[in-house]
Structures are given as C-alpha cells and as structure tokens.
Amino acid sequence: MSRRRRIYEGKAKVLFEGPEPGTLVQYFKDDASAFNNQKKGTITGKGVLNNRISEYLMTKLGEIGVPTHFVRRLNMREQLVREVEIIPLEVVIRNVVAGSLSKRFGMPEGTQLPRSIVEYYYKSDELNDPMVSEEHITAFGWATPQDIDEILAMSLRINDFLLGLFLGVGLRLVDFKLEFGRLYENEEMRLVLADEISPDNCRLWDTKTGEKLDKDRFRRDLGNVEEAYQEVARRLGILPEGGPRDMKGPATMQ
Ligand code: UDP
C-alpha cells in the first residue's frame, strides 16, 4: 500500500495506480460492510484470505478460458490487475433460494432452484442497487444486447465450474455476485471478469451440516466470521503459510 496513487476506495478494497500503464493494484482491506453500509465492522485477516481465495478462483477460471482482469498476486494483501472500465452492474447467479430472493418471494432459504437464475442489479449506493432488467440495461446504455449475451454466457459457465469446484471441497455454492469490465487492447474491446470472488460475495454452505461459511456470518451476527473465511481457504488448500497469526503483522502491509 502507500506511495502509489490511490485511484478509488471501496468498502472492502482500494485500487492504486499499477506499475505499468493499463494496470492497477487491488488492495484487500479487513473492513466489512453490509446492508448498503448500515452495518460496518472489521474481520481480522479477511483481506489476506480474500486476496488468496480470489487469486485461486480467478486463476482456475483463467485456466478454463474465462477472461479475467487478474494478473498476479503481489503480496499478502495486494494483487496486480488489468485496468478495466467497470460495467455498472452486479450480476447475481443463484442455485439455491437465500437472502433477498427468499424475502422477495417468501420462499424458505435452502430451497433448491429448478435451474440457475441470473439477476442484474444497477450498481448505485445512493439507490441501494436496484434490480434491473435487460430492457433497463440497454435503454440506459450500460451494456449492449450483445454484451448482455456474453455476460450471461460467461456467468453460467463460471457458475457451472465453481459449483463443481466447491462441491469437491464439501461446499454448496448457493449464490454469488460477479462484476464485469471492458478491457481495451489493440483498438479492441473485450469483456472480462473483474472485481473479486470470495466469501464476501458468495454464499457457501457446508454440504453436510448446512453451516454458513460466508459473509452471512457477519451480516447476521452468527459469530466465528474469521474462522469461516479461513475454513473456505483451508478447504481450497490455500491457507497462507503460518496460518492466521501471519495475517496481522506489519510484514503483511508492504
Ligand atoms: N451480493 C454482493 N454484493 C451486493 C449484494 C449481493 O456480493 O451488494 C452477493 C451476496 O453475497 C450473495 C448474492 O450476491 O452471495 C445474492 O445476494 P442477495 O441478493 O440475496 O442480497 P443480500 O441478501 O446479500 O442482501
């Protein structure tokens, strides 16, 4: 962190100017927020874990041909990413009823959906991320019909892949949120997966016990939040060496 120029500060991450043009450094904070910033807190070590988890998942997705903004992890809390123009949409993919879907339709959490559902929300804190349809997205010029087709295809492919990956380590991928960006390269534009994939934006339930291992532990005051994030990293086989104690010291802040 530090000497680089700060480009943007979000709730859980900071973006700094990268070492080369067209790159950014994404710094993962321990800050947590929920309900559009009404609830705030700190989850010790979260930034370190999310940096690792997102690196792992983005790398795996890259290996199956999903284009992403991820370049490489730089240290405990930072990763180098390609600079993209973020499409102002939160793309939510759902496999099981939970959260706002459960509230909106009065369906019990945990109901398996007959097929995956993709929803779009307009990214706006002031408006509380309202849900939007393809009609809104194209009419307001946030993305073209062709962009939406591509985003939908990529989202379903990512979902298929992550469902299997998490199932293999005893986790049910209930739902998750993705963001996409436009990457400009040699006069061409392509859409790539951006932001992060971590327990901050996924719901992950233990397949056997149903235990929640994601940000709902923070949102709903269930306790053991750090432990849940650690458990996800542990199951993926990527808990940082030295374990949790390694995550607080100044050595991690370079
Ligand atoms: N999500 C997110 N950021 C948001 C809203 C939702 O990462 O601003 C994720 C959330 O973690 C969950 C999924 O998207 O995995 C679906 O969230 P939902 O619409 O149920 O909203 P919530 O109940 O979290 O308010």
215 lines ligand 1 (CB under 6 A): yes
Label residue 254 by pLDDT band (50, 70, 90).
Answer: very low
Quickly tell me which residue has 């790159």 as its tokens.
23
116 lines ligand 1 (CB under 6 A): no
Percent share of the chain, pLDDT over 90: 91
Cβ pair 51, 76 in contact under 8 A: yes
Residue 195 in tokens: 């932001």
Q: What is the pLDDT of residues 154-211, one digit of tens each?
A: 999 999 999 999 999 999 999 999 999 999 998 999 999 999 999 999 999 999 999 9
**Domain 85-206, CATH class in plain words:** alpha beta
Neighbours of 193 (CB within 10 A): 25
Q: Residue 247 has what pLDDT? A: 53
pLDDT at 130 over 50: yes
What's the first-to-final CA gap in the chain, in angstroms?
6
Domain with CATH 3.30.200.20 in the chain: 4-83+223-244
Q: CB neighbours of 56 closer than 8 A, spacing ≥ 6?
A: 236, 238
Residue 205 in tokens: 């339930």
Can you point out the beta strands (E) in 51-122? Answer: 70-73, 78-82, 85-86, 89-96, 112-122
Average pLDDT over residues 202-222: 98
Average pLDDT over residues 230-248: 78
On average, the pLDDT of the chain sits at: 94
Sign of CA dihedral 129, 135, 141, 144: positive
Q: Residue 3 has what pLDDT? A: 76
- The C-alpha atoms of residue 182 and residue 70 are separated, in whole angstroms, by 13
Q: Residue 253 has what pLDDT? A: 38
pLDDT at 26 over 50: yes
pLDDT at 250 over 80: no
179 lines ligand 1 (CB under 6 A): no
pLDDT at 93 over 90: yes
- Angle between helix 145-167 and helix 46-63 axes, rounded to 10 deg: 110
Pocket test for ligand 1, best of 37, 92, 117 (most atoms within 8 A of CB): 92
4-83+223-244 CATH: 3.30.200.20
